[in-house]
Structure 1
Amino acid sequence: MTADPGSPRLQREILLNAFTMNTVGHVSPGLWTHPRDHSPDYRSLRYWTELARLCERGLLDGIFIADVLGIYDVHQGGPEAALRHATQVPINDPAMLVSAMALVTEHLGFGITTNLSWEAPYLLARRMSTLDHLTEGRIGWNIVTGYLDSAARAMGLPRVMAHDARYDLAEDYMQVVYKLWEGSWEDGAVRRDRAAGIFVDPARVHRIRHQGPHFDVDAIHLCEPSPQRTPVLYQAGTSSAGRGFAGRHAECVFVSGPSAAVIAPRVAALRAAAAAAGRAPEDLRVFSGMAVIVAATRSEAEDRHAEYLRHGSPEGALALMSGWTGLDFGELGLDDEVRRIESDAMRTAFDNIARTDASRAWTVREVADFTTIGGIAPVITGDAAGVADAVEAWVEATGVDGLNLSSVVMPETFEAIVEHLVPELQRRGRYKRAYAPGTLRRKLFGRDRLEAPHPAAACRAGGKALGLLD
């Protein structure tokens, strides 16, 4: 959409993350062919450290790094389209990027996606504690359960678990990692007493014991307490099961959809789920996806948008949507209509599009055109004032706290945001002019650690009284 001026303005500051992936193109299939796009350089550490410096210069709150295990092989029954158009393949591990980016920044947060379905909680707990130490408390974990059967087959299973069953697994998983992060080591367990020759007081380190429906764990966490202990918890599910999980566990929730009519009810439902879990409204930050094409003038931005579209790959977009929904769009003609989809993949993916105009069915061609830039998020095009108006109107209409701004052409997308959008939002009093000190959680919520009634708080060293620890 093109930004229109004159939208009403709120007073609360807007949060902004750079939304990207350790791959080529991310959610704009085909844009890697653009002559100014550098996303094929994703294999270089310099690519990522320069992005981190750019984002911190623009005072962005964080870099949110998506991830997927498995290949998009639903479209036309195989991986050829995804491979041909670099539709989130090849893709590297996002966690490997964080240490280098943290070294060249001081405040920028890092949200990394890690799939809990395919990794033992003991291993994930150590990785996140390590990253929390190395970033001095700037790490967040985007909790996902996976949706691709290709990932399940790679792990030796015929298909992914049923949608709601994956959230049952996640509940048990979270109890294990909370006990490791919060309960295994007491505050003060690490003495570093050279004179006495005591590094750790054994009496203040506990073996956690967990017997649940999915995990049986008897272990001492290998890492000493990190600045946040539990990383900031991100989550992206908006199904009924996903909302319930978010209400109990998430601090930041990522929602995606093309219109305020789609997003606003989801935001309200997420806040209601958090309230049902006894949590306060300020305990949840909701981010929605958006692609922003901003330039010095509206005309220049619109020209840039048109230029980007010429490099988009409709087939790559259909490969992406086929993987998200579980429906093989390659079996349909471009002018065939697509109806509502119910599958064990991402249940809301096609609904995100269809609900933009529920009065009619969508054709395959329209789905491909819609998702070529930014996936299923809205695309805002204009000069700084127009885009800022649109962003403010979006925040007011949806109730979100911030945006995950996706890359279109790298790093041009984020360079333009830093140069044009951020200063305009600052001028309006809608964006910070300096980072707050401290950890990522302190910047977002004013504290370093999770507090009751969040379930992590019940797993602290005092949890020995609850039978959680030895």
Structure 2
Amino acid sequence: MTRKKILLNAFNMNSIGHIHHGMWTHPRDQSDRYNTIEYWTHIASVLERGLFDGLFIADIIGYYDVFEGNVDLTLKEAIQLPVNDPWTLVSAMAAVTQHLGFGVTANIHTETPYSFARKVSSLDHLTRGRLGWNVVTGYLDSGARAMGRDGLDEHDKRYDRADDFLQLCYKLWEGSWEDQAIIRDRNGRIYTDPNKVHAIAHNGPYYRAHGYHSSEPSPQRTPVLYQAGSSGRGRQFASRHAECVFIAAADPATARAASAKLRQDFVNAGRQPDDVKIFVGIAVVVGHTQQQAREKYEEYLRYASPQAGVAHFSSSTGIDFSRFGLDEPISYGQSNAMQSASQTASQQGWTRRDLLNQHKLGSRYPTLVGDPGEVTDQLERWIDEGDIDGFNLSRIVVPETYEDFVDLVIPELQARGRYKTAYEPGPLRHKLFGRGARLSDSHFAAQWRHPQQVGTDQAAPDVATAVEEH
């Protein structure tokens, strides 16, 4: 029986604090260099040396102002504030790597589809097909206010808007330019064949556009699509659009249950169970020996901020936990922020004391501690028992977390045949799925391809309303 190869993303953010809050105070942590090119190019080089599939860069629009009703702790502990634009990092990191993929977060409420489609195509060209997009709809009321709105739209409406946003992008990426549009005929003075470029027309509930995509077809056309919503509406969105989905799970059994639901959602949407790669967020503290790993973990705990972790969770749920005593029951109610986060907390009946204990490393992520063999044992258990495909490795101390994993864990995974020993050639989508650079013909986006581009396994859809002849 062939055992599943593990996929790996490094999880990061263009900020000082990301998931494990308070760790910026550790003397070996370099996250305060986040606003330098050298910081990011070094990380990219380390990850490529370790054959990581990608660097996933999170982002938020807004700030955490729910805990204590202000941003004081957020600013003191650098809880994802300050935070810089993640898209500006890609070109520099792509220049020092050849294979590493980049999954970059963008909120559909802060972008316009036409210009965003060009930005994505541009970076997919510059990276030679290594770009992914983490599609988010936002969950911070502070971000909505900062963008000039009264507040967040209702939870499910945010996904309705995202559906419309992606449909317009698909028309631009998949339907505007045919594969053979670029001629590059110097003698005939024809760079592009006008007959192979088509105006798109879109009149959706949220967006309207009529025109030509600005960019010629990039290696992947549509970037690899990532998504992390686990509410009912979020899973519905994922089953239509996503290729890689991030889930939160405390243990392999929880991961298996979530994976089963997600894969069934894909089947119900007319896709295959293996059309989605499922990732779990995880933290790893590894040493040459078990004792060294435990000592390192205990050292890390001395610098972490459980209070900052709870403040982050306050904004995730929309609940100010500072208003409750340590053991006082918390009324969770319905949330317009992250529904899954508040539902889980409500079902478990977590008190503030519970939350502080869970955030002892500044985060609620499952944490694996041990020597390379022990960590690999646990990673394999997650993959095999959890029916997941890989991990988002969170950073604790930067770049130490990544360097330790690359130097100690990767060789053990490779020795057991659970991890690649060389990169597969080709764009990111092919590296992940082994099916080529483009979205499959069964994906929702394929219906907007020009008929000449549709594969032989699917009849050409009716695109009369999607593209207009030049």
Question: What TM bracket, shorter-length normalisation?
Answer: over 0.9
User: Which one of 45, 56, 59 corresponds to residue 48 of structure 2?
Assistant: 56
Match of 1:121 among 104, 109, 113: 113
Q: How does 1:68-147 map to 2 (within 5 A)?
A: 68-147=60-139
Q: 2:252–2:381: 8 Å Cα contact kept in structure 1?
A: no
Instruction: Give the whole-Å Cα distance in 2 for the aligned partners of 1:224 and 1:230.
Output: 12
User: What displacement does 1:118 show?
Assistant: 1.7
- 2:374 corresponds to 1:382: no
Give a deviation string over 1:408-457, Cα, whole Å, max 9, x none: 00011011100111111111110000000000001111211012221111
CA contact (8 A) 1:10 1:396 kept: no
Aligned match for 1:218, one of 194, 210, 224: 210
Distance 1:381 1:433, change over 3 A: same
Moved more, 382-391 or 276-285: 276-285
Residues 351-393 of structure 1, C-alpha deviations (whole Å, 9 max, x = no match): 45676xx4xx322122123124363320111110001011111
The answer to whether the Cα contact below 8 Å between 1:258 and 1:352 also exists between their aligned partners in 2 is no
**Structure 1 CA distance, aligned partners of 2:271 and 2:368?**
33
- State the distance in 2 between where 1:438 and 1:214 align: 36
Supply the distance in 1 between the matched residues of 2:161 and 2:116 (Cα, whole angstroms). Answer: 15
Call closer, same or farther: CA 1:188–1:396 in 2, change over 3 Å. same
Task: Please list the CA deviations of residues 206-226 of structure 1 after superposition, one character each: whole Å capped at 9, or x if unmatched.
Answer: 110001111111121100100
**Structure 1 residue 87: deviation in Å?**
0.4
What does residue 456 of structure 2 align with? none
Q: CA deviation at 1:406?
A: 0.2
Match of 2:457 in 1: none
Does structure 1 residue 172 correspond to structure 2 residue 161? no
- String of CA shifts for 1:393-412, please: whole Å, max 9, x gaps: 11122111000000000011
Aligned with residue 412 of structure 2, among 417, 420, 424: 424
Q: 1:247-288: per-residue Cα shift (whole Å, max 9, x none)?
A: 111000011132234322211111011111111122110001
Rounded to whole Å, the distance in 2 between the matches of 1:188 and 1:295 is 53
What is the CA RMSD across the aligned residues, in angstroms?
1.5
- Cα distance in 1 for partners of 2:27, 2:298 equals 14
Kept in 1: contact 2:68–2:323 (CA 8 A): yes
- Give the structure 1 partner of residue 437 of structure 2: 448
Q: Which residue of 2 aligns with 1:4?
A: none
Question: 1:202 and 1:393, CA in 2 relative to 1: closer, same or farther beyond 3 A?
Answer: same
**1:246 corresponds to which letter in structure 2?**
A
d(CA) in 2 for partners of 1:464, 1:203:
19
Q: Comparing 405-414 with 331-340, which one deviates more in the overlay?
A: 331-340
User: Could you tell me how far apart the structure 2 residues matched to 1:367 and 1:154 are?
Assistant: 29
> Is residue 101–residue 130 contact of structure 2 (8 Å, CA) maintained in 1?
yes
- Match for residue 455 of structure 2? none
Is residue 144 of structure 2 the alignment partner of residue 152 of structure 1? yes
2:144/2:150 contact within 8 Å kept: yes
Shift of 1:341: 4.6
Question: Aligned partners of 1:251, 1:221: CA distance in 2, in Å?
Answer: 23
Which position in structure 2 is the counterpart of 1:5? none
Q: 2 CA distance for matches of 1:319 and 1:400?
A: 29
Q: Which residue of 2 aligns with 1:370?
A: 358
The two structures have a TM-score, normalised by structure 2, of: 0.95
Distance 1:288 1:338 in 2: 27
| 1:469 is aligned to 2:467 | yes
CA contact (8 A) 2:447 2:463 kept: no
Q: Distance in 1 between matches of 2:437 and 2:2?
A: 28
Distance 1:10 1:92 in 2: 42
Structure 2 SS opposite 1:311: coil
Name the CA distance, whole Å, in 2 between partners of 1:459 and 1:300.
55
Equivalent residue for 1:334, pick from 326, 333, 352: 326
Output the CA distance in 1 between the equivalents of 2:258 and 2:433: 22
8 Å contact kept, 2:17–2:77: no
Residue by residue over 1:303-335, the C-alpha shift from the partner in whole angstroms, topping out at 9 and shown as x without a partner, is: 111111111112211210011110011111233
CA distance in 2, matches of 1:353, 1:394: 23
More displaced stretch, 333-342 vs 344-353: 333-342
Asked if the contact 2:25–2:303 (Cα under 8 Å) also holds between the matched residues in 1, the reply is yes
Establish whether residue 395 from structure 1 lines up as the match of residue 383 from structure 2.
Answer: yes
Number of aligned pairs? 458
Percent identity reads 50
**Shift, 1:464, TM fit:** 7.0
Q: 8 Å contact 1:179–1:460 — kept in the other structure?
A: yes
Residue 30 (structure 1) aligns with: 22
Task: Give distance in 2, aligned partners of 1:210 and 1:51.
Answer: 40
Residue number among 441, 444, 459 corresponding to 2:448 in the alignment? 459
Instruction: Decide whether aligned partners of structure 1 residues 365 and 439 sit closer, same or farther in structure 2, where only a CA change above 3 A counts.
Output: same
Residue pair 1:287, 1:403 contacting (<8 A) in 2 also:
yes
Q: Which amino acid aligns with 2:425?
A: P
Larger CA deviation: 312-321 vs 258-267: 258-267
Residue number in structure 2 paired with 1:433:
421
Q: 1:304-315 alignment to 2 at 5 Å?
A: 304-315=296-307
2:264 partner amino acid: A
* SS at structure 1 position matched to 2:467: coil
1:241 partner SS: helix
Question: Is 1:406 aligned to 2:394, yes or no?
Answer: yes
Deviations 1:77-133 (A, max 9, x none): 111111111001100011000100000001110000000122111111111101100
Contact 1:31 1:409 in 2 (8 A): yes
Distance 1:192 1:265, change over 3 A: same
Aligned equivalents of 2:140, 2:366: Cα separation in 1: 24
Greater mean deviation of Cα atoms: 330-339 or 138-147: 330-339
Residues 185-206 of structure 1: CA distance to partner in whole angstroms, max 9, x if unpaired? 1111111110011111111111
